[in-house]
Structures are given as C-alpha cells and as structure tokens.
C-alpha cells in the first residue's frame, strides 16, 4: 500500500516529491541554486505526524493499556532504528538525493539519514493527502509490528528485564559505555564483568542503551534455552 503510493509519487510527480528526498548535504554543495531545498522541514513535520498517528491508534485499539505501556509500545515503533528499517523496506534510500561527500561516506545507508528520510516522506504525504489518508497508510505499515510487540510484551523495559535476568543468574549488573557519533546519534556498548556483550545505536542515549540491553537479554535467554 505505502510502497505503491511512493512509486506513484516517484514516477508521476517526482519534480514536486523530490524535496522530501533531498538531503542537506546536496543543498550545501549546490548553494548557488536557490530553487532547491532540503527535506529538513518535512522531516520535522513527519516526526510529529508519525508520533500522533501511532499514539492515536494505540489509544483507540488498546483500551486495556495504561499510559506508561502505551508510551513504551509507541517508542518501539517511533525510534531511529525502527523508522530506518521501514525506510529500507520501502527502498527509499535508492532515491535519496545526496551530496557527493555524503555519498562517498556511505550516507545512503546511515541509520539516522534513513530515519530522517522516512519522516520527511511522511511529512510530504501528510501535506499532499491530508492526515486521515496518511494515517491509513502508516497504520497499514505499522499494525502488524504493533500487534507483535503487544502480544509478546516486548515493550517492557529491556534494561530492567536484563538487570533481573543478571541477578537471577548471579552475574554483575551491566555497564553501559556511550560515545557520540558524527551524526549526533549515540553508540552504546554493554559490558558484563568487563566482557563486551552487545551494542546499540540510537538518536538518544537511552534509546541506544535499551537496544543494547534487548540484544544482551536475547543472548542470555538463548544461553538458558541451550542448557
């Protein structure tokens, strides 16, 4: 559904749609051309639209959940890694308009760039089709993942679950070591007993920590299953 819409926009209305695909690096390298603009304003709009649509869907369809759990499920969908994966599944990176420097540095495959690209495309669709239609496209894209998260209860805080698991098996509590990357996102490495276990990346440090904790939790659960 969303894929077909994007193909239509690309094939039939590319001159207008390309603003959603234009990275700031391209603008910086073509500053003399005042007729082009980056997708940053659309990214800002799309970020808000996605958060609202997911919040509204969860509120209406999961009346048994309290505010805290609704927020946790939303964060599993509306985060940098998740949105970048949707961007990949829709093959949006193939159409990204980048500057030469960003292209050389593998910018087309950066998690943060793909996340921002997805947000800008949603921003464009919301202006073009309206919020109601945009919501239908997004929910069609998200609903299976939301149902999986709810059914598996994977929205529970992975850091807390990991701490409980480590205490259960008599291990020390995890240590999170973070660094800020060039794109202002965070890389967090997780250690237990000074041994590297996993790592995660995210727009926010806490997001990266949760991703690393979820990966570590999966490892420890698998070890238990192998016993």
The set of catalytic residues is: 47, 119
The two three-digit tokens of residue 222, written as one number: 């698998």
> 3-state class of 218 per DSSP?
helix
Say if CB 24 and CB 40 are below 8 A apart. yes
Say if CB 115 and CB 89 are below 8 A apart. no
């Amino acid at each position: 559904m969303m894929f077909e819409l994007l193909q239509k926009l690309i094939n039939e209305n590319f001159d207008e749609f390309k603003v959603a695909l234009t990275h700031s690096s391209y603008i910086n390298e073509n500053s003399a051309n005042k007729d082009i603009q980056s997708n940053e304003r659309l990214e800002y709009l799309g970020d808000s639209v996605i958060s609202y649509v997911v919040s509204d869907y969860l509120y209406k369809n999961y009346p048994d959940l309290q505010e805290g759990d609704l927020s946790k499920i939303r964060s599993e969908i509306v985060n940098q890694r998740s949105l970048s994966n949707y961007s990949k599944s829709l093959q949006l990176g193939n159409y990204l308009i980048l500057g030469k420097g960003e292209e050389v540095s593998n910018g087309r495959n950066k998690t943060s760039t793909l996340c921002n690209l997805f947000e800008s495309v949603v921003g464009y669709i919301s202006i073009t089709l309206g919020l109601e239609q945009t919501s239908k496209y997004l929910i069609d894209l998200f609903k299976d993942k939301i149902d999986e998260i709810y059914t598996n209860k994977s929205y529970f805080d992975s850091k807390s679950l990991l701490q409980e698991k480590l205490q259960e098996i008599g291990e020390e509590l995890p240590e999170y070591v973070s660094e800020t990357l060039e794109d202002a996102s965070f890389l967090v490495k997780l250690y237990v007993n000074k041994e590297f276990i996993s790592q995660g990346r995210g727009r926010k440090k806490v997001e990266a920590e949760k991703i690393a904790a979820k990966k570590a939790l999966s490892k420890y659960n698998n070890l238990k299953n192998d016993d």
